[in-house]
Amino acid sequence: MNQKIYLDNNATTKVDEEVFNVMVPYFKEEYGNPSSTYSFGKRVKDEVNKARTIIARHLNAEPDNIIFTSCGSESNVSAIMSSIRLNPSKKHIITTKVEHASIMETMKELEKTGYRITYLSVDKYGRLDLNEFKEAITNDTCLISVMMANNEIGNIYPIKEISKIAHEHSIIMHCDAVQALGKIKIDVKDLDVDLLSISGHKVNAPKGIGALYIKSEFIPLIYGHQEKNRRGGTENVPYIIGFGKAIELIDFEKEKDIENLRNYMEQEIKKNVQDVYIYGDINNRTPNTSSMAFKDVKADELMLVLESFNVFVSTGSACNSEIALPSHVLTACSADLDNYSPIRVSLGKYNTKEEIDEFVKKIINIVNMIRRRK
């Protein structure tokens, strides 16, 4: 069997060895409850708060502004529900057509209860039009929720500009920064967001841990005394400690290497294969993401053949791949999916040049083989 080549790091990442190692004692010796008042619990609470401080520093926030959640999806839903409860008389929300399922599905539910949702459109490169956004604002708008980076095409959205406009109208601004974390700098003060979601498993921490930045007022989704009454539930101590370590290990210099490798991969493929189309805003993408389509080659078929060689990419977001629906992100970009259906290649810190060379070779052979058969 060939060595595995994992190129689906936007779906999830491998837990870093250092992250794993700092977690282990909190399963074994240090299993106290951080809410306990004796030292066995207090020690753990101190470590949870150290992780909180690391995460806060990374986001340029104060530790008190960070709560831990079970995942990025919980952070997103908590942010939305708090915002609408803080403004019960307002019934209009603005979001985009390219958000993650945790936002989209929450919006669909809110529509059933009488909320009006504006889903901002994107152009063929996945870009938003800020004029459309400004025109959508009404006196009834209580929340604007826009992602910082897209999981499928990698586009980076102008959160700072959107926040500014939101605040000129006294509207709460939430940002889903799950795919931005670790890939581009996030400064909550500079962005001036009210709420911002992140998740551990996109940055080499385990699955099942997230955090939410809360600037000021907040109504919890899960009631209880933990997290200063903002999120009930005994803290997931080992995962929180691991999340802190993973954030400490974020290295933006390494991200430049990843970007060079991604660009090299795209160039080599384009040099050797005809009719390649790359989706998204090519010059304004996360450094690791490439949404690549090969004319007349179905992404599903390409993905399956790659899998048979132990190479893993996806054809959209992992969250959608169980449902055989065309990607809502690519549909929003008016993509010609009959002729150009893309695979999503997302690199991570463990990918090497040798792996990318191997991947390029395989793509050239497989695409040519599929095209010859037609």
199 contributes a contact to ligand PLP by CB under 6 A = yes
Residue 206 Cβ vs ligand PLP, minimum distance, rounded to whole Å? 10
Instruction: Give the 3-state secondary structure of residue 46.
Output: helix
Residue among 147 and 360 whose Cβ is closer to ligand PLP: 147
Angle made by CA atoms 133, 135, 139, in degrees to the nearest 5: 100
Q: What is the DSSP string of 260-321?
A: HHHHHHHHHHHHHSSSEEEES-TTSB-TTEEEEEETT--HHHHHHHHHHTTEE-BSS-TTTT
User: In the structure encoding, which two tokens stand for residue 367, read together?
Assistant: 């695409």
Residue 101 Cβ vs ligand PLP, minimum distance, rounded to whole Å? 8
Angstrom distances, CA of residue 148 to CA of 38, 173, 313, 341: 41, 12, 22, 24
User: In the structure encoding, which two tokens stand for residue 234, read together?
Assistant: 């005994």
Using CB under 6 A as the binding criterion, the count of chain residues that bind ligand PLP stands at 16
Give the x/- contact pattern for ligand PLP in 112-151, rule: CB under 6 A.
Answer: -----------------------------------x---x
Stretch 150-169 residues interacting with ligand PLP (CB under 6 A)? 151
Annotated catalytic residue 333 = no
Residue 147 Cβ vs ligand PLP, minimum distance, rounded to whole Å? 5
Binding residue (CB under 6 A) for ligand PLP from 128, 142, 162, 178? 178
* CA–CA dist 220, 195 (Å, integer): 13
| Neighbour count for residue 310 (Cβ, 10 Å) | 12
Catalytic residue among 71, 175, 319, 333: 319
| Amino acid (one-letter) located at 374 | K
Residue among 104 and 269 whose Cβ is closer to ligand PLP: 104
287 contributes a contact to ligand PLP by CB under 6 A = no
Please say whether the dihedral angle defined by the alpha carbons of residues 36, 232, 29 and 54, taken in this order, is positive or negative.
Answer: negative
Of the ranges 171-179, 211-219, 251-259, 294-302, which one interacts with ligand PLP (CB under 6 A)?
171-179
Of the ranges 15-23, 50-58, 70-78, 117-125, which one interacts with ligand PLP (CB under 6 A)?
70-78
Binding residue (CB under 6 A) for ligand PLP from 73, 106, 204, 288? 73
> 42: part of which helix (H) or strand (E)?
helix 39-59
100 contributes a contact to ligand PLP by CB under 6 A = yes
User: In the structure encoding, which two tokens stand for residue 302, read together?
Assistant: 């390409």
| Neighbour count for residue 24 (Cβ, 10 Å) | 13
Stretch 290-319 residues interacting with ligand PLP (CB under 6 A)? 317, 319
Please say whether the dihedral angle defined by the alpha carbons of residues 75, 154, 4 and 15, taken in this order, is positive or negative.
Answer: negative
Residue among 73 and 141 whose Cβ is closer to ligand PLP: 73
Helix-strand-coil percent breakdown of the chain, rounded to 5? 40, 15, 40
Of the ranges 78-86, 174-182, 274-282, 340-348, which one interacts with ligand PLP (CB under 6 A)?
174-182
71 contributes a contact to ligand PLP by CB under 6 A = yes
Residue among 104 and 166 whose Cβ is closer to ligand PLP: 104
* CA–CA dist 155, 287 (Å, integer): 10
Residue 108 Cβ vs ligand PLP, minimum distance, rounded to whole Å? 16
Binding residue (CB under 6 A) for ligand PLP from 179, 286, 314, 320? 179
Q: Which residues are catalytic?
A: 319
- Residues lying near ligand PLP in the complex (CB under 6 A): 71-73, 76, 100, 102, 147, 151, 176, 178-179, 199, 201, 210, 317, 319
